[in-house]
Amino acid sequence: MTTETTTTDLTTVKGLMAAIEAPEGQGVEMMDPATGKLVGRAPQRAEADLDEAVATAREAQRSWAARSHAERSELLNRAADAVEDSAEGLAAVLSREQGKPLNGPNARFEVGACAGWLRANAAFEIEPEVLVDDESGKAVLEYVPVGVVGAIGPWNWPMMISIWQVAPSLRMGNTVVLKPSEYTPLSVLALGAVLNQVLPEGVLQVLAGPGELGAALTAHPGVDKLMFTGSTKTGQAIMRSAADTLKRLTLELGGNDAGIVLPDADPEAIAEDLFWGAFINTGQTCAALKRLYVHESQYEAMCQALVKVAQRMPMGVGLEEENVLGPLQNRQQYDIVAGLVEDARNGGARILMGGDPVQDQPGYFYPTTLVADIDNDNRLVSQEQFGPVLPIVRYTDLEQAIAWANGLDVGLGSSVWGTDLEAARAVAARLQAGTTWINKHGAVDPRVPFGGVKKSGYGLEFGVEGLKSVALPKVTSW
């Protein structure tokens, strides 16, 4: 099931597309969400292809697991080199299919993160742990491969999140069968083709196809662990599907991250970091800032500081170098965002900017929108918008702000903003989230474990803890 890449130049868009695209008249046409133009034809794999891929992965896993950590790490570093060699081509494919601009924290940033995460996972040290060593005997804890990892990725960061799944799995001696989102399959197929220039055959296989293919992957008896990033609803379905075979799970699910601005914060100083915490990838990020609570003493100043920043951030077609914000990736998400903004408007909220999309332009562009004077129970606050809209909620009492921040059944990330670090840390300790940042938001690091609480996730990714999550603990005692 691996793509033959030995004679194809994978550093260019043309070469990448030649390696991955379905023949004319076959596959599913993928359209640019910024222009409506054809990007390419994604091949569609069936359940029989999945069976073959899993069988191939199981066969390849034995020899892959037999390699040392040093040997697997060397191949991950070589894979990072290959990504860097193809970076411009990969970024262009990603920009055209997903919609995100080349510049800003977008397509080039994402491709660079792929290389960075590969190198980080290659560098982590994971040694046997001596648990007991005394007159009674000795016991050692090691981490051994799970086997075959089934990975299902999202459409918002299709390449980077695929690497979050692939890199630790491969480092720990597993093989991977990866099913990308049906909205962004070409991006992940292109990344897989680049990686497979270096990796042994069968170690990583990318199968594009409909949602039914993902469901078959989650239930497949030859898959030992599942990694999924996406909605809570789908994550719950995956847990049910995995129960019969007791597959191990890592689930990074939806969020509705809250940020609390304390009364001592400087609105002008934090406005740009707040903006990018909310609007990175045009708001299409699970751990983006999605509701902002601001003390009444700073409220108007904070609103105006955010407007100033937002007004100088150009939105447009991703391949145009000046843009840093792009379209929503698909019509379904566009309609969700537009409906939530209308709910806010109808509920009496004040639209500081945006909220009125141009109707006759191509693409799923929704303008950068800031919403003030909104009730905490409005749907724009209580539901994840996943787009370029930020509701700004006024609070008078810090206890109320903390209760509002903790009041939902999700808890991926959160943030606290202020100049008194001790006071900010005290508030951070009370927020119910897998990660709470102080004076920043969404700043993930491959060395720092990441995961959600409540309905935002199950398990951890990144760092040595992330390696352990794609392995099995084994104790040897004598």
**What are the distances in angstroms from CA 357 to CA 55, 117, 177, 363?**
49, 37, 40, 11
Tell whether the model's pLDDT for residue 2 goes beyond 60.
no
In this prediction, residues 303-322 reach a mean pLDDT of 98
- Here the tokens at position 43 are 């091949």
> What is the predicted pLDDT for the residue at 129?
96
Active site residue 322: no
182: DSSP letter: T
CA distance 463 to 124: 7
In this prediction, residues 113-121 reach a mean pLDDT of 98
CA distance 210 to 221: 20
> What is the predicted pLDDT for the residue at 200?
98
- 249 & 263 share domain: no
Contact 460, 450 (CB under 8 A): yes
CA distance 27 to 44: 6
pLDDT per position as a tens digit, 341-352 = 999 999 999 999
In this prediction, residues 76-85 reach a mean pLDDT of 98
The catalytic position among 21, 114, 182, 286 is 286
Task: Please tell me which residue, 7 or 86, carries the higher pLDDT value.
Answer: 86
Q: Do the domain assignments include residue 28? A: yes
- 27 & 144 share domain: yes
Provide the domain count of the chain. Answer: 2
| Beta-carbon count within 10 A of 135 CB | 4
Tell whether the model's pLDDT for residue 115 goes beyond 80.
yes
- 59 & 179 share domain: yes
- 335 & 208 share domain: no
> What is the predicted pLDDT for the residue at 361?
83
**What are the distances in angstroms from CA 131 to CA 69, 442, 471?**
22, 36, 18
State the pLDDT confidence band at 7, using cuts at 50, 70 and 90. low
In this prediction, residues 260-264 reach a mean pLDDT of 98
> What is the predicted pLDDT for the residue at 360?
81
Burial 327-346 (b: 16+ CB within 10 A, else e): bbbbeebbebbbebbebbbe
Active site residue 321: no
CATH code of 161's domain: 3.40.605.10
Residues shown for the chain: 478
In this prediction, residues 441-447 reach a mean pLDDT of 97
Burial 400-432 (b: 16+ CB within 10 A, else e): ebbebbeebebbbbbbbbbeeeeebeebbebbb
CATH code of 405's domain: 3.40.309.10
- 247 & 277 share domain: no
Q: Do the domain assignments include residue 3? A: no
Closest to 461 in 3D by CA, of 470, 472, 453: 470
In this prediction, residues 356-381 reach a mean pLDDT of 95
CA distance 166 to 177: 9
Tell whether the model's pLDDT for residue 204 goes beyond 60.
yes
Tell whether the model's pLDDT for residue 462 goes beyond 90.
yes
CA distance 20 to 371: 42
Contacts of 4 (CB under 8 A, 6+ apart): 19
| Whether the predicted model's global pTM rises above the 0.75 cut | yes
**Lowest mean pLDDT across 4-13, 362-371, 468-477:** 4-13
> What is the predicted pLDDT for the residue at 311?
98
The catalytic position among 252, 303, 384, 461 is 252
State the pLDDT confidence band at 333, using cuts at 50, 70 and 90. very high
Q: Is 418 helix (H, G, I), strand (E, B) or coil?
A: coil
- 297 & 219 share domain: no
Q: Do the domain assignments include residue 5? A: no
- 463 & 356 share domain: no
Q: Do the domain assignments include residue 162? A: yes
Q: Do the domain assignments include residue 7? A: no
- 277 & 399 share domain: yes
Q: Do the domain assignments include residue 390? A: yes
Q: Phi and psi for 373 in degrees, rounded to 5?
A: 50, 50
Structural domain including 239 reads: 13-253+456-477
**What are the distances in angstroms from CA 321 to CA 179, 265, 272, 312, 383?**
31, 34, 20, 15, 33
- 139 & 270 share domain: no
Q: Do the domain assignments include residue 402? A: yes
State the pLDDT confidence band at 4, using cuts at 50, 70 and 90. very low
pLDDT per position as a tens digit, 181-198 = 999 999 999 999 999 999
Tell whether the model's pLDDT for residue 473 goes beyond 70.
yes
- 393 & 462 share domain: no
- Here the tokens at position 270 are 């934090």
Closest to 364 in 3D by CA, of 323, 326, 337, 328: 328
- 238 & 281 share domain: no
Closest to 87 in 3D by CA, of 62, 112, 66, 106: 112
Contact 354, 389 (CB under 8 A): yes
pLDDT per position as a tens digit, 17-53 = 999 999 999 999 999 999 999 999 999 999 999 999 9
Q: Do the domain assignments include residue 209? A: yes
In this prediction, residues 58-65 reach a mean pLDDT of 98
- 247 & 335 share domain: no
**210-213 own/partner pairs: CB under 8 Å, 24+ apart:** 210/44, 210/182, 211/182, 212/47, 213/45, 213/46, 213/47, 213/50, 213/179
Closest to 163 in 3D by CA, of 147, 151, 148: 151
